[in-house]
Chain A
Amino acid sequence: MDCKSSDGYAGPRSEDILPASATAAVKVVIVGGFGVGKTTLVGSVSEIRPLTTEETMTQAGVGVDDLAGIEHKTETTVAMDFGRISINEQLVLYLFGTPGQERFWFLWNGLFEGALGAVVLLDTRRMEVSYDVIGRLEERGVPFVVGVNAFPGAPRYPTAELRAAMDLDPSVPMVDCDARDRASCRDTLLTLMRYLYTLTTVSPESP
């Protein structure tokens, strides 16, 4: 239970409190289409029950012009779930599960800025969602790995076929990721870290 205080706002549960020594955080973004298992993945590895932050998006209605002068606006609440992993006494890793559509990314300023990298969670039943995501991440220069969340009954394709379908750069790792399984999610995150490590160590720039 959250601890409700006299001011009516819930705060963290006592077991969810970070040590006072926590000095800095890093983030990893989990990107994928609706229902692909982003929140499940976050929940599998997070030390806190996943939390939600919401923003509201207002859009002008399109194609309504018979009532001149009356703006038609719709509001959409967009939620982003996230979790946390304490790496050590000082360092904290946050995982943000983000909708695949780029237009939502702007709701959270700097979501990808400073992120270590991203995991693109792929649902083989709806691959088209991920094509776009991969292009957008490449444009932004966000390093990513692809996790294939194999749903029961989902079609299984050979990795080579998936890579070809996604037009994935040969250097970008693609791994199986069962979002419900803690070890599998941990390994996917480790794959991302090893990939980043490779990028860093082979980078022509020397410190």
Chain B
Amino acid sequence: MSGPGPERTSGPQPPGNPDRLYILTGGQERPAATPQLDLVTLIVSRAESDTGLAPELAAVVRICDFPLSVAEISAYLELPVSTLTPLLTELLSEGKVEARPPVPAAALPDVQLLEAVMHGLQKL
């Protein structure tokens, strides 16, 4: 058999149009460098919108005037998280936004955290 092996994606796959993504990320690829961004890392702008930024970057800065998770930014800007992450990394390294990491992952969650979540859910 010379066919391709079992369907199994290895590593990040370029979504959509590769040219466009290359432009969006400025041609830089930063695999798993800089701070690890989770889907629920909260991003908050540190500066006013900057007219010198690329439109996608400026849009992130604008909509994050209040905290937004990486997942929400991805949804609002209609960018896959895999495309958005390098943009956020760039904004973070330039100090345009700050990241508030999720509650640290432990093997098992903290009792106080669970109590807070239960209390919050009971109000629903």
> Residues of A with Cβ closer than 8 Å to B?
2, 5, 7-12, 17-20, 22-27, 45, 51-63, 65, 82, 84-88, 91-94, 96, 103, 106-111, 113-114, 116, 141, 143, 182-183, 186, 189-190, 193-194, 196-197, 199-201, 203, 205
> B14 on the interface (CB 8 Å rule)?
yes
Please name all residues of chain B whose beta carbon is closer than 8 Å to the beta carbon of A109 when the two chains form the complex. 12, 81-82
> Residues of B with Cβ closer than 8 Å to A?
2-4, 7-9, 12-16, 36, 38-42, 44, 55-56, 58-59, 62-63, 66-69, 71-72, 74-78, 80-82, 100-105, 107-111, 113-122, 124
| Residue in A12, A91, A189, A199 whose beta carbon sits within 8 Å of that of B68 in the complex | A12
Selected A-B contacts with CB under 8 Å, 9 pairs: A9-B55, A20-B44, A22-B100, A51-B75, A54-B80, A65-B3, A86-B120, A94-B69, A200-B108
| Residue in B76, B81, B113, B116 whose beta carbon sits within 8 Å of that of A11 in the complex | B76
Please name all residues of chain A whose beta carbon is closer than 8 Å to the beta carbon of B101 when the two chains form the complex. 24
Please name all residues of chain A whose beta carbon is closer than 8 Å to the beta carbon of B77 when the two chains form the complex. 9
| Interface pair B80/A53, CB less than 8 Å apart | yes
CB distance from A71 to the nearest CB of B (A): 9
